Structure 1
């Protein structure tokens, strides 16, 4: 099973679109909300990112809502 982590925030429309897309495709993921989870915010910053969404799929990072890249990595 593919391990998918989505770093998001409450006010990010791209995060909402990304999560909706994954749900529509029945793709399970773990959400780490940097608005409410300070540990997730630290993790994101330690990876060198300041913005969201960031998706991690099998240790590969996707910056933003990059649907073609998601489809490629998830074989959709």
Structure 2
């Protein structure tokens, strides 16, 4: 099983779409919500990102709701 992590916020429509896609395909993920955790926000910035969603699939980063890249990295 692939390790999937996603950085989100409460008001991000693309984040909601990304999580819905993962849920619909029964893909487990770890969510880091920058609206609720200043530590998650700091980590996101340390990685060099200023926007969300950012998804990390087995160490590969996906910026935004890039469905084709997500499918490719998830082997779908």
Same fold flag (TM > 0.5): yes
Shift of 1:3: 1.0
Q: Please report the RMSD computed on the Cα atoms of aligned residues, expressed in angstroms.
A: 0.6
Gaps of 5+ in 2: none
**TM-superposition CA deviations, 1:13-67 (whole Å, max 9, x none):** 0000000000001100000000001111000000000110000011110000000
Structure 1 stretches (4+) deviating beyond 6 angstroms?
none
Shift of 1:73: 0.5
Gaps of 5+ in 1: none
| TM-score normalized with structure 2 length | 0.97
Work out the number of aligned pairs and report it.
76
Give the match for residue 16 of structure 1. 16
| TM-score normalized with structure 1 length | 0.97
